[in-house]
Structure 1
Amino acid sequence: MAVPINKEELQEAIISNYTKLKKELLTIAFEKTSINELEGHSKGTLMSINNLISYLVGWGELVIKWNEKKDNNEAVDFPETGYKWNELGKLAQKFYEDFKNDDFNSLIIKLDKTVETILLLIENKSNKELYDVTWYEKWTLGRMIQFNTSSAYLNGKNRIRKWKKAQNTKS
């Protein structure tokens, strides 16, 4: 799917990529979800399925937080307070830690709610707000949402498929 250029395409990309990701997630045995076997978000690291979901929830919650702060004319620390853009591996570790006590099923529920909230956020914005004005540095709001939702869901689905393929080749 091409990079969304308007509100409808963004909504469609999120729904489509999340549906594909969730389909992959729901085929994983519960007992495998906490084992660190997936390629991690930092070079040379491994993560679990639960870490992957935590990462997606974490970024989704940041998108929501950024929007709430901007809507209230408050300053936003991008990407997150205490983290710089060149420290995204550390931020991923923070997300893993934030949700370490959640099991697979509760993480799926949190991710569903995060996606639902983001889709509602998009629904309540105009196409102009999403794509016709710069929102952060050179990026529009729609693009910032896309980076951290539909693109991340596609990346997550691909990581899971790669992991599943490796699982099938192990004897």
Structure 2
Amino acid sequence: MPRYSSRQELVQEMRKRARLFIGEFEEIAEQDKDTLLADVDRSPAQMIAYQLGWMKLIQQWERDEQAGLTVVTPHPDYKWNQLGPLYQSFYETYQDWTLVALMAEFEQQVAHMIDLTLSFSEEEFQQSGSRKWAGSTPANWPVWKWIHINTVAPFKSFRTKIRKWKKIKNGLERIL
């Protein structure tokens, strides 16, 4: 995992990876957004919903901590050993959204994550323990690592997934 020397470095990588990830969806037809294919564990809509769910969770953790509330990670209704049901809740939240709306929301949430990232001082960004929510697991990660793990890393890995999905879908269309 990369280590970021500054908030700006993470923001630059986040912008790049977000643009590459969401750009993959421009050629997917609306009627295909919920299509599950063998060898790919999520539909295109689920891939975006996953990203939205995590970005919104991090933003909520920060808002709650700033409001003096106790932050329960990953979510008040789910424990760390219940990530599958948490992901399902993300998919259900966005199940009726169009692909265009999902893509627009993704762009908006990335902008919010960039604003959040830049709102931290360099010390808050780099040091473990600067936020209670960031220290909520035994790993006691610094804020930058939480942001990376829930933006840049899945933007990269899910870009690979959507590219595989498109390759399989295109192969099926040629057969038919």
* Residue 20 of structure 1: aligned partner: 20
Asked if 1:129 corresponds to 2:124, the answer is yes
CA contact (8 A) 1:35 1:49 kept: yes
**1:2 is aligned with what amino acid?**
P
Superposition map of 1:53-72 within 5 A? 53-72=48-67
CA deviations over 1:67-111 (Å, ceiling 9, x no partner): 111222211110011111111111110001111111111111111
Superposition map of 1:14-163 within 5 A? 14-37=14-37, 39-40=40-41, 47-134=42-129, 135=131, 136-137=134-135, 138-163=140-165
**1:32 is aligned with what amino acid?**
D
Q: Residues of 2 paired with 1:142 and 1:158: CA distance?
A: 23
5+ unaligned residues in a row in structure 1: which ranges? 41-46
CA RMSD of aligned residues (A): 1.7
- Give the TM-score taking structure 2 as reference length: 0.86
Identity %: 25
The runs of at least 4 aligned residues of structure 1 exceeding 6 Å deviation read none
**Residue 5 (structure 1) shift:** 4.1
Partner secondary structure for residue 77 of structure 1? coil
CA contact (8 A) 1:4 1:13 kept: no
CA contact (8 A) 2:8 2:118 kept: no
**1:16 is aligned with what amino acid?**
K
**1:87 is aligned with what amino acid?**
Q
Q: Residues of 2 paired with 1:166 and 1:90: CA distance?
A: 27
**2:105 is aligned with what amino acid?**
K
CA contact (8 A) 2:73 2:80 kept: yes
- Give the TM-score taking structure 1 as reference length: 0.88
| Structure having the larger proportion of residues in strand | 1
CA deviations over 1:5-31 (Å, ceiling 9, x no partner): 431221112111101101111122222
5+ unaligned residues in a row in structure 2: which ranges? none
Number of aligned residues: 165
Asked if 1:164 corresponds to 2:160, the answer is no
Rg: which structure is higher?
Answer: 2
